[in-house]
Every structure is written in C-alpha cells, then in structure tokens.
Amino acid sequence: MKLIRRSELGWPATTAGHANPRSGLVVHYDGSNQGLAGQAHSACLSYWRATRNFHINTNGWVDIGYSFAACPHGYVFEGRGLNRIQAAQPGGNSTYYSVSLMSGPTETPTAVQIDAVRQLRGYLMDRGVAGTVRGHRDFIATSCPGDRAYAMVKDGTFTKAPGADAAGGMEEDMVGLSQGDSGERVKFLQELLRAGGHDLGPAGIDGDYGPATARAVLAARKAEGSRQDFGDRITGAAAKQILSQFVKAHR
Ligand SMILES: [Zn+2]
Ligand SMILES: [Zn+2]
C-alpha cells in the first residue's frame, strides 16, 4: 500500500479522541466532481489539504473528518489515521474506519483507486478490523458515496483481494492497444503504468497513446526482464508485465 502519512503533509498529530474501530470500513466520496484522475498526483495533495482546511475552518471540526482517503492514482492518504474517532459517519464514527474516494458523483473510481481501498482494507484487517465494507448511506440518509461507488460496495468490488484477482479483466482491457490509440482504455493503461512507477512525461494520464506512453510501456517490460524492444503496442505478454509492475509497486 502506498500510504501518504499526515506528517508528510506537514500536519501535526491529530487531536481527535481515541477509539478502537473494529467493525469495518465505510466508503465516502466528495459531493462534487474533482477531476483528479486527469490531473497530476500533486493535485491530490492540494485537494486533501483543502479538505482538511474546510473541515477545520468551515465545519469547525478538530481535524479532517476521515480516517483515510484513496486517490485516483492509487495512493492511500492518512487523515485522522488509526485509532481515532472520526467526523464521517454518525452512528459509526468510533466503531468503523472511514475512507473517502477523492472523486465525485459522476466520476467512476479508477482501477488503481479501487485497489487502494482493497489494500487499505487488508491493512486494517491485519490490525484486527473486520473485513466488512459499507457505504455512508448505510448509516444515515445521504447520497454519499454516490450511486457508482455504492454499487461497488454492494457488489463486493471493494472486498476482493488487492491486485491479482482483477488481473484477467485488467489484462483484457489493455491487450490490443497500440500507439496512436486514444480513450478510456489508454487512460487505464496509463494509470497502471504510473502506479507501477513509470514516468509518462508532462502529458501524464491524457488518454493518448503517444511516444511517452510507449517509452513507459517499454520501461515496464524491461523491468520485468523482457528482451522485446517495443512499447508501441500491447501484446498479451506486455500486458502481463505491466500488471506485474503494478502489483509489485503496491505490495
Ligand atoms: Zn460520506
Ligand atoms: Zn493522486
């Protein structure tokens, strides 16, 4: 799990009260679309800081409300963190942990963002927390976490094991792409490459399979020991190598 601790953001230790949540994890979202999937990951740090400022200065809370968040680039952000009462889901603020998806009502969580939630769930289960995942609306009348994320709560998407289980579908999503292609499947490929630690250049996750993406594909293949010297198309072998890089980066 790629965890960004609050100390890395320059935040002091939280003053929220102690708790011992053991019942599971509650999924939240942002009430408005944030567009972070299409931006550099640095925008997620700005977003998380702004969220904390809002919770403290506008809501009057002692700290950011959530225990954790998951960004579209596959990082887990610490909010109040472990063993703290939250201001997230009344009725479960001291018995459940909370994770906010850094995305809004009509934004579909990215594959790596979903995987970040799964990794966080595993991290909590390693610490004695039940594997139950619920949505904010299971506690009170609210739109949160939005229809898309709530459907994922109900169909068990978040309670699957991290990484490997989705491999079949993730490979199928990539195979057949080649330089010059554009669209959502290319974005997905780029998400996996970046989450696997490969540089996509200034354009980032732009949905266009250009030379920078081809270089990242080649780099991922080489890192897996491939002797192939092309990154301009995704064969079945290339997809496996890219996925392997992604899974390793998230261990
Ligand atoms: Zn919520
Ligand atoms: Zn991010």
DSSP one-letter string for 44-86: HHHHHHHHHHIIIIIS--SS-S-SEEE-TTS-EEESS-TTB--
Position 248 scores a pLDDT of: 77
Q: Are residues 19 and 132 in the same domain?
A: yes
Tell me which ligand sits closest to the C-alpha of residue 89.
Answer: 1
Q: Answer yes or no: do 58 and 96 share one domain.
A: yes
Instruction: Tell whether 124 and 183 lie within a shared domain.
Output: no
Q: Could you tell me if 154 and 198 lie in one domain?
A: no
Q: Among 137, 159, 181, give the residue marking a domain's end.
A: 159
Show which of 101, 135, 159 is a domain's final residue.
Answer: 159
Residue 133 domain boundaries: 3-159
Separation of alpha carbons 248 and 71, rounded Å? 18
The whole-angstrom separation of Cα 202 and Cα 207 is 13
Are residues 49 and 116 part of one domain? yes
pLDDT in tens, 49-61: 999 999 999 999 9
* Shortest-distance ligand to the CA of residue 65: 1
Q: Which ligand is nearest to the CA of 75?
A: 2
Can you tell me the mean pLDDT for 128-150?
96
Judge if 154 and 178 occupy the same domain.
Answer: no
Residue 169, pLDDT score: 63
- Pair 153, 179 in one domain: no
Q: What is the pLDDT of residues 65-105, one digit of tens each?
A: 999 999 999 999 999 999 999 999 999 999 999 999 999 98
28 and 150 in a common domain = yes
Give residue 43 CA to ligand 2 midpoint distance, Å: 7
Residue 165: its pLDDT value, please? 55
Mean pLDDT computed over 31-43: 92
- AA identity, residue 211: P
Q: Are the C-beta atoms of 67 and 88 separated by less than 8 Å?
A: yes
Residue 5: pLDDT band (50, 70, 90) is: very high
Between strands 68-70 and 3-4, the pairing is unpaired
Q: How far apart are the first and last CA of the chain?
A: 6
Q: Which ligand is nearest to the CA of 46?
A: 2
Ligand 2 centroid vs 41 CA: distance in angstroms? 4
Residue in this structure with the two tokens 């996750």, named with its chain if needed: 205
d(CA 251, CA 115): 11
47: CA distance to ligand 1 center in Å?
16
Q: Are 76 and 68 in contact (CB under 8 A)?
A: yes
On whether the CB atoms of residues 14 and 83 are closer than 8 A, the answer is no
For residue 9, the 8-state DSSP code is: G
* Partner residues linked to 76 by β-bridges: 3, 70
Number of domains, the chain:
2
Q: Quick one: 110 and 47 in the same domain?
A: yes
Parallel, antiparallel or unpaired: strands 68-70 and 76-78 = antiparallel
Written as six digits, the tokens of 193 are: 């490459």
Q: What is the pLDDT of residue 250?
A: 62
Residues 239 and 217 in one domain: yes
Question: Does position 43 have pLDDT exceeding 90, yes or no?
Answer: yes
How far, in Å, from the CA of 89 to the mean position of ligand 1? 6
Spacing, Cα 14 to ligand 1 middle (Å): 20
Q: Decide the pairing of beta strands 133-135 and 25-28.
A: parallel
Domain of 43, CATH number, reads: 3.40.80.10
Q: Which ligand is nearest to the CA of 90?
A: 1
Which residue did the predictor score with more confidence, 201 or 67? Answer: 67
Identify whether the C-beta of residue 26 lies closer than 8 Å to the C-beta of residue 97.
yes
pLDDT, position 174: 86
CATH number of the domain that residue 177 is part of: 1.10.101.10
Q: Are 65 and 107 in contact (CB under 8 A)?
A: no
| Predicted pLDDT at 143 | 95
